Structure 1
Amino acid sequence: MANKLYERVAKQLAGQIDEGLYRPGDRLPGVRRLARQFEVSISTIVQAQRLLEDDGLIEARPRSGYYVRVPFWPQPEPPGISRPTVRPVPVTGQELVLRLVQTANEPDCVQLGAAVPSPEFLPARPIQRALSAAARAGGDRLATYQFPPGSPELRRQIARRMLEAGCRVSPDDIVITSGCQEALILALRAVAKKGDVVAIESPSFYGLLQAIESLGMRALEIPTDPATGISVEALELALDKWPVKACVLTANFSNPLGSIMPPDKKQALVALLASHEIPLIEDDIYGDLGFEGERPQALRAYDETGGVIYCASFSKTLSPGLRVGWMLPGRWQEQIEYLKYVTSLAAPTLSQLAVADFLHHGGYDRHLRQVRSAYARQVTLMTRAVSKYFPEGTRVTQPRGGFVIWVELPKAVDALSLCQQALEQRISIAPGTIFSASGKYRNCIRLNCAQPWNDVLDRALMTVGRMADAMR
């Protein structure tokens, strides 16, 4: 029985947490606000918070306050290293991707499929202010194209940011693109042609597979570890056997695995490809979204020969609608500037100026500090829900950045059928087969964690888990 005043306050707060007034990951109101709410002294609130912390219901975060702790669930085992058939194949069967991305615009559908952040995690109002400021200050530039290489102001800001990724570059080394997808396609067109073999991770981002398919190239899937990325040893064997013309991968928080390559492995990979004179196309779109510590270095930081083409964008951090990406083309600079011009003339002028303004005034760094911790909480909550609701034997990746998780279900579960059943319940998930050129990963799905946690999301995961369990 709670006899002391602070014990009674703690009991009431615990009840509010149990009722869902404060959810896992939520920040509790400050001590002054709670003191007014319960009509007690600040010292009483402090004692109540310490009691709840001792009971494991809340946790203190430095200079941030108290947060509701995520309930403990056993951490699921991660999937093992992938075992694709290492031979070049044409990419087919990507039609399902169009249906997947179309559901991202359907407001009544729970969006767990496409890797598109919910607007709640994006700095909509600051971006609106930056767009307004750019519109006012843009003058005649708004009526003209920002032809390749793109806005000088934006390229200067990006060059400064690239220092955090270990890359000392000049603004003249940068080409602005209409998103990262265009950057990847331009890079592939610059270094390979129809029928050529491109080495990729397995599983791999379906947008890359679509790019390879659209260009008539062939994909060579390389075994990949969910924690440390592509197998350099397996890649070396493949290079000795097949006429690889390019290698495309994501070293920092890959999609869909969330893997991050250790520094020594990055260095070995870059050196291996340089020794074979094979271009390396790096997709670093998630590089800014690490959950803790310093930003990991890009593969480009280890490049001594100009053989790495670096690609990234602001679609996952600021807004996919801005369509602003960039490249470091290396020794293919002139060719890629020309390809950009004949493909789409230029990236949107207003978007370029707005992003440059946002970076210049520090808005990007402030936003990153918030969204990194938010995505870390979302990944934790989603993983716990999968552990709670999905069939026994389910395996889940443990990413240290980004906002997607890869779920390996029991062998009997058909992920494509599961995806179709889920869509009938207005739940979008991504089946594993679209992440493979050869139709592998039939019992796997990818989940987008960049959705606000609420009862609807919890019920959606419970529904998908029950559907999967019924297939065993």
Structure 2
Amino acid sequence: MDKKYLYTEIANGIAAQIRNGILKSGDKLPSVRKLCKDHQISMNTAKRVFLELESQSLVDSKPQSGYFVSNILSVKLPLPEVSKPSLIANNDEPDELINKVYENIGKKDITIFSIGIPSGDLLPQAKLKKEIINATRTLKEGGTEYEEIQGNLKLRRMIAMRSLQWGGNFHEHDLVTTNGGMNALSFCLMALGKPGDTIAIESPCYPGILQLANGLGLKVLELPTHPTTGIEIDALKKVIPKIDLCLLIPNYNAPLGSLMSDEHKKEVVKILSENNIPLIEDDVYGDLYFGSIRPKCCKSFDKEGNVLYCSSISKTLAPGYRVGWIAPGKYKDKILKLKLLHSTSSISIVNEAVANFMKNGYEKHLQQMRKSLQNNYQNFTQTIAESFPEGTKTSRPQGGLSLWVEFDRKIKTTELYDLAIKENISIAPGRMFTLQDQFENCMRLCIGLPWTEEIQLKLRQVGTLAKKIYG
């Protein structure tokens, strides 16, 4: 058997025993050596088994002691349902609700579980400040000149080098820098769509994408989406005749945190390419994986240049720096024309600083951040299991910043928001993530806050307020 599938098969067997209660919280698992002996596998394959289980937050490693079943109770919480949106394009945008939630950005007296960005406490702020100063010293004219249209050459080279991790194999000439991830998506939608065109997206979906598509006059068709594996492929096949373009977040989708398998990514790319439907891929969360290996992207399987790959550092390094990029494939000329028209140049000092940090400290920072986010996920789900109403369901992300919570239908999260904000707590009601009448009993929590006793107390307060509504 292929080693890749062998370690997955063994890991799935142990995971099933944990989820079925055969192995209980705190139980010690066989050592790496015993696993090798029992399954006739190499040390590397055995280690991959435990890394896979760690990525699912099912086991914890203890130095000098081995591996133990995780103490988190989230394994007992059921998964949210697969979404079932109408397959008719809809544009009922919840503007008032979105504005109400997003107006809390930057307010220091509010605990913000609602906005999907990492806390500054998880970011290397001192090192970034030094890189900004260094950039003003090393750039020609102190960074006051325009960059070339495609963007900072050093940054594009670093992005291209990092793409080798997931099979992107970019060249610096394949990339165009933008002013953040939403700017990248905006260029792609403007280049490919026209008012009246239909775009297929996941459901639920990041509110900014919904607002952007609506603002450009596109019809939005939401696809059924599994909380763990992403869009339902059969549903995509059925709507192919109706759509003109597609936008997906295959790696740790916001808000579900779902992760499409390589097989599904490959099939999606094939289906869309055969029908000459462009795919815009948003990969802003791809570097925030909890396991040992960064997931591939749809772009990894793109042979025709039909995938426009978009990403940024907004979720990993510095949201306020507004540094993003596109690998637009065969649509490069259209993207460059739009960039020239709308922004001409990216911010040279910031792009140079980010490029230097990517070269010297980015990977170490990401390793620390991924560990913090995984620990946060465990702490969040344990607190939810202990403090939220009976029947609560949660997603099981393997990376990213989002945790999706589904309550009993008696609990309306718009009402929960109003109660929580009076306690200086902001949540993101599920209705924000759709243009249809659904997800009224759901919410998204951002796990990008440093875990403290205060954060735990605030999360418990949300659970108490939910119980109050439930009665």
User: What TM-score comes out, normalization by structure 1 length?
Assistant: 0.84
Q: What is the SS of the residue equivalent to 2:304?
A: coil
Alignment of 1:12-27 (within 5 A): none
Q: Specify the code of the residue in structure 1 equivalent to 2:220.
A: A
Contact 1:147–1:341 (8 Å) recurs in 2: no
Alignment of 1:335-414 (within 5 A): 335-361=334-360, 363-414=361-412
Q: Structure 2 CA distance, aligned partners of 1:358 and 1:70?
A: 36
Q: Structure 2 CA distance, aligned partners of 1:234 and 1:141?
A: 52
Q: Which residue of 2 aligns with 1:329?
A: 328
Q: Which residue of 1 aligns with 2:316?
A: 317
Q: Structure 1 CA distance, aligned partners of 2:313 and 2:332?
A: 21
Alignment of 1:27-106 (within 5 A): 61-62=62-63, 72=73, 75-106=76-107
Q: Which residue of 1 aligns with 2:8?
A: none
Q: Structure 1 CA distance, aligned partners of 2:283 and 2:65?
A: 30
Q: Is structure 2 residue 119 aligned with structure 1 residue 121?
A: no
Q: 1:142 to 1:385 in 2, by over 3 A?
A: same
Across the aligned residues of Structure 1 and Structure 2, the Cα RMSD in angstroms comes to: 2.0
Q: 1:64 to 1:325 in 2, by over 3 A?
A: farther
Contact 2:228–2:258 (8 Å) recurs in 1: yes
Contact 1:85–1:221 (8 Å) recurs in 2: yes
Q: Structure 2 CA distance, aligned partners of 1:255 and 1:322?
A: 21
Q: Specify the code of the residue in structure 2 equivalent to 1:438.
A: Q
Q: 1:71 to 1:174 in 2, by over 3 A?
A: closer
Q: CA deviation at 1:470?
A: 1.8
Contact 1:70–1:381 (8 Å) recurs in 2: no
Q: What is the SS of the residue equivalent to 1:471?
A: helix
| Cα deviations by residue, 1:258-314 (Å, 9 ceiling, x for unpaired) | 011111111111101111110000000000000012111110010011100000000
Q: Which residue of 2 aligns with 1:254?
A: 253
Alignment of 1:70-469 (within 5 A): 72=73, 75-140=76-141, 142-240=143-241, 242=242, 244-361=243-360, 363-469=361-467
Contact 2:104–2:112 (8 Å) recurs in 1: yes
| Cα deviations by residue, 1:349-404 (Å, 9 ceiling, x for unpaired) | 1110001111122x011101111111000011011111111110010000000121
Q: Structure 1 CA distance, aligned partners of 2:339 and 2:86?
A: 34
Q: CA deviation at 1:255?
A: 0.4
Q: 1:380 to 1:71 in 2, by over 3 A?
A: closer
* Structure 1 range deviating more: 108-117 or 91-100: 91-100
* Structure 1 range deviating more: 335-344 or 270-279: 335-344
| Cα deviations by residue, 1:74-111 (Å, 9 ceiling, x for unpaired) | 63111121111111112522332233222121101011
Contact 1:150–1:346 (8 Å) recurs in 2: yes
Q: Structure 1 CA distance, aligned partners of 2:175 and 2:65?
A: 37
Residue segments in structure 2 that go unaligned for 5+ positions in a row? 1-58
Q: Structure 1 CA distance, aligned partners of 2:214 and 2:74?
A: 41
Q: Specify the code of the residue in structure 2 equivalent to 1:303.
A: D
Contact 2:72–2:381 (8 Å) recurs in 1: no
- Count of matched residue pairs: 411
Q: Specify the code of the residue in structure 1 equivalent to 2:456.
A: D
Based on CA coordinates, which of the two structures has the bigger radius of gyration?
1
Q: What is the SS of the residue equivalent to 1:418?
A: helix
Q: 1:170 to 1:59 in 2, by over 3 A?
A: closer
Q: Structure 2 CA distance, aligned partners of 1:65 and 1:451?
A: 29
Q: What is the SS of the residue equivalent to 2:296?
A: coil
Contact 1:199–1:221 (8 Å) recurs in 2: yes
Q: Structure 2 CA distance, aligned partners of 1:63 and 1:365?
A: 26
Q: What is the SS of the residue equivalent to 2:83?
A: coil
Contact 1:253–1:402 (8 Å) recurs in 2: yes
* Structure 1 range deviating more: 397-406 or 335-344: 335-344
Q: Structure 2 CA distance, aligned partners of 1:445 and 1:63?
A: 40
Q: CA deviation at 1:455?
A: 2.2
| Cα deviations by residue, 1:40-78 (Å, 9 ceiling, x for unpaired) | xxxxxxxxxxxxxxxxxx9754599999x8565663111
| Cα deviations by residue, 1:231-251 (Å, 9 ceiling, x for unpaired) | 1110100113x2x11100111
Q: Structure 2 CA distance, aligned partners of 1:137 and 1:388?
A: 53
Q: CA deviation at 1:171?
A: 0.4
Q: Structure 1 CA distance, aligned partners of 2:323 and 2:184?
A: 10
Q: What is the SS of the residue equivalent to 2:139?
A: helix
Contact 1:419–1:430 (8 Å) recurs in 2: yes
Q: What is the SS of the residue equivalent to 1:312?
A: strand
Q: Structure 1 CA distance, aligned partners of 2:116 and 2:203?
A: 18
Contact 1:91–1:210 (8 Å) recurs in 2: no
| Cα deviations by residue, 1:424-465 (Å, 9 ceiling, x for unpaired) | 111010000010011320000000111111222122111111
Contact 1:307–1:330 (8 Å) recurs in 2: yes
Q: CA deviation at 1:348?
A: 1.2
Q: Which residue of 2 aligns with 1:44?
A: none
Q: Structure 2 CA distance, aligned partners of 1:436 and 1:191?
A: 22
Q: Structure 1 CA distance, aligned partners of 2:339 and 2:66?
A: 48
Q: Structure 2 CA distance, aligned partners of 1:182 and 1:71?
A: 38
Q: Structure 2 CA distance, aligned partners of 1:377 and 1:72?
A: 13
Residue segments in structure 1 that go unaligned for 5+ positions in a row? 1-57
* Structure 1 range deviating more: 129-138 or 223-232: 129-138
Q: Structure 1 CA distance, aligned partners of 2:438 and 2:73?
A: 33
Q: Which residue of 1 aligns with 2:42?
A: none
Q: Specify the code of the residue in structure 2 equivalent to 1:428.
A: S
Q: 1:91 to 1:329 in 2, by over 3 A?
A: farther
Q: Structure 1 CA distance, aligned partners of 2:370 and 2:456?
A: 22
Q: Specify the code of the residue in structure 2 equivalent to 1:157.
A: M
User: What TM-score comes out, normalization by structure 2 length?
Assistant: 0.84
Q: CA deviation at 1:346?
A: 2.0
Q: 1:190 to 1:380 in 2, by over 3 A?
A: same
Contact 2:384–2:463 (8 Å) recurs in 1: yes
